Amino acid sequence: MQDRTPVLQLRQISKRFGAVQALSDVDFEVYSDEVVALVGDNGAGKSTLVKTIAGAYRPDSGDYIFNGQRAWISKPSDATALGVETVYQDLALCDNLDVVSNLFLGREDGTRFGPAFADVLDEVEMERRATTVLKELHVRIPSVRTQIANLSGGQRQSVAVARAVMWNSKVVLLDEPTAALGVEQTQQVKELIKRLRSRGLGVVVISHNLADVFEVSDRIIVMRLGRRVATFETANTTSTEVIAAITGVGPQHRPNGANA
């Protein structure tokens, strides 16, 4: 798997906030058809790394490489233009709008007669596409015209994920997708993540829940104190090893664990 070109690669990324070195020379890569879990303790630099990938932060140094080509990302829309979508923990859904409106928010289908703001929305076409996408992803909601306010947490998460992948995206970043969910809904979201992989996407999952990480991921990248300290093939590792890397107290990870 690792002989291929990663769909998205970051090389030697550093980012400093005032006196805090949030990221130091971090490499990161995700391949197509792969789920990478990004784990680490609070303050390890996971969020900074994800926001850098999403285009919300500009790194102080380092390269952003998409499909083997250097890319210049200075704002989130640059990343989405490449096909890199992010689902933040707060989901960024409008509770008062229905599922279709949320899936298409900011990218509505419509007929143009004059200026863009006066476009007449094509609700039928949007509903048709929304229904198709949700069916493909096996997302079960009562109706695509239900307001988000009336959906469960798992359904909301699924809608947010569907929105991220329906625009021909190549890489999806999921920030703590199961943190606020119950057991059954967590299961639904994990199934969804696996389905994204089988659609050929590169999926990056940030999670604190190692059980979930082991269930869905192919590789696990561990961050600690702003550095990437370890990488595991999920199939060939144990949670003890991963926890040791996260905390930095396990004997076998001292050498490449850098400054503790």
Binding site for other proteins (CB under 8 A): 76-77, 88, 90-97, 101, 105-108, 110, 116-121, 123-125, 127-128, 131, 142-143, 146-147, 149-154, 182-185
The CB density around residue 174, as the number of other CB atoms within 10 Å, is 29
Toward other proteins, which CB reaches closer, 156 or 228?
156
Minimum distance, C-beta of residue 125 to other proteins, in the bound complex (Å): 8
Q: Which stretch of DSSP H or E encloses residue 28?
A: strand 20-30
- By beta-carbon proximity to other proteins, the closer residue of 137 and 225 is 137
Within 193-234, strands assigned E span 202-206, 219-224, 227-233
At 82, list the tokens: 């490449």
- Least CB distance to other proteins at residue 204 (A): 18
**Residues 186/212, Cβ–Cβ less than 8 Å:** yes
Between the two ends of the chain, the Cα-to-Cα distance in Å is 32
Shortest reach from residue 250's CB to other proteins, in Å: 35
Measured from the CB atom, the residue of 150 and 238 that comes closer to other proteins is 150
State which residue, 105 or 249, has the beta carbon closest to other proteins: 105
* Amino acid of residue 141: I
What are phi and psi for residue 114, nearest 5 degrees?
Answer: -155, -125
Closest distance to other proteins from the beta carbon of 122 (Å):
9
